[in-house]
Amino acid sequence: MRAAPLTHRPEPADRARPAEPAGRVEVHGADPVLLVAHGSRDPRAAEATRALARAVSVARPGVPVLASWLDHTQPDPTEALRELTAAGHPRAILVPLLLTAAYHRRVDIPTAVEAAQRSGLPIRVDITDVLGPVGDQVDPALLAALRRRLEEADPARFDALVLAAAGTRDPAARASVGRVAQALGASLGTPTRVSYASAAPPTVSTAVRRFQQRGAQRVAVASYFLAPGLFHDAVKTAAQAAGAVAVSAPLTDTPDLVNLILHRLTHPPQGPR
């Protein structure tokens, strides 16, 4: 039985969310911010993280905002914390630039903070939640960022949507990606399913073709990536080969993502590390 296709054009992002972060946050003596990304051999990924750090810095004038990486790019979190300690900061807020709370959030980031403190750094570090769902909650700013990038990709009208993520073997992390797909699809009134670039099925081409087999005429792909790189390149190539009408860009430094980070900074869940 062929599914009755829906026709949908996403609401322009500037109507769904202000075009700039929600005001400059004037702070005096506030804790510095350390953004920690996974890291990539692709230099575009590091530049995207630096651009995001600059955007957060603009939103929090007078507060140091540093970027660091777990792999491939310097500084790593320990070196960044050493720099903040040398500048006289007794405390920092660390924001994991991750879309799922998988191994990197559960193991790599706490390990990096513990290594810094074992080396004698007296700095106190509070670690925020990741940028993806916290429990069952998908932050509206994350959905706004995904919708903004989809609108920029200009898919015109589409009747199905694939959320393309990097992939993980962690079932809880995959479930969180599924919650994002469900929330995004509900906000658009469009059937939505998940695909992965690695570690788990289905691939983006399989997900696109499954929609086509069910009668969808125009399938768009929303990229669930923070930065460009080999995974996003592969997703874009495979989706276009499968007949997707558009593939959105990574979230990088969208104003909505900056808003999400500002929210994380004001709601750090963890105690000192």
The 10s digit of each residue's pLDDT in 34-93 is 999 988 999 999 999 999 999 999 999 999 999 999 988 999 999 999 999 999 999 999
Contact 176, 247 (CB under 8 A): no
Look up the domain containing 188 and give its range. 136-247
Statement to judge: residues 154 and 125 lie in one domain:
no
pLDDT at site 114: 87
pLDDT at site 48: 97
Statement to judge: residues 176 and 122 lie in one domain:
no
d(CA 259, CA 24): 11
Statement to judge: residues 200 and 111 lie in one domain:
no
pTM beyond 0.75: the answer is: yes
pLDDT at site 266: 86
The answer as to whether 208 is a domain residue is yes
Q: Which residues of 187-225 are buried (b: 16+ CB within 10 A; e: fewer)?
A: bbebbbbbbbbeebeebbbebbbbbbeeebebbbbbbbb
pLDDT at site 6: 42
Identify the helix (H) or strand (E) that includes residue 127. strand 124-127
**Burial zone of 270 (CB within 10 Å; 0-12 exposed, 13-18 middle, 19+ buried):** middle
pLDDT at site 112: 86
The answer as to whether 1 is a domain residue is no
Tell me the residue type at 198: S
Neighbours of 138 (CB within 10 A): 21
On the CB side of 178, CA atoms within 13 Å amount to: 10
d(CA 222, CA 216): 16
**Sheet containing 91-96: order of strands:** 65-69, 33-37, 91-96, 124-127
Q: For the chain, list residues with pLDDT below 70.
A: 1-29, 268-273
pLDDT at site 12: 41
Count of the separate structural domains present in the chain = 2
pLDDT at site 14: 39
CATH code, domain with 53: 3.40.50.1400
d(CA 80, CA 116): 9
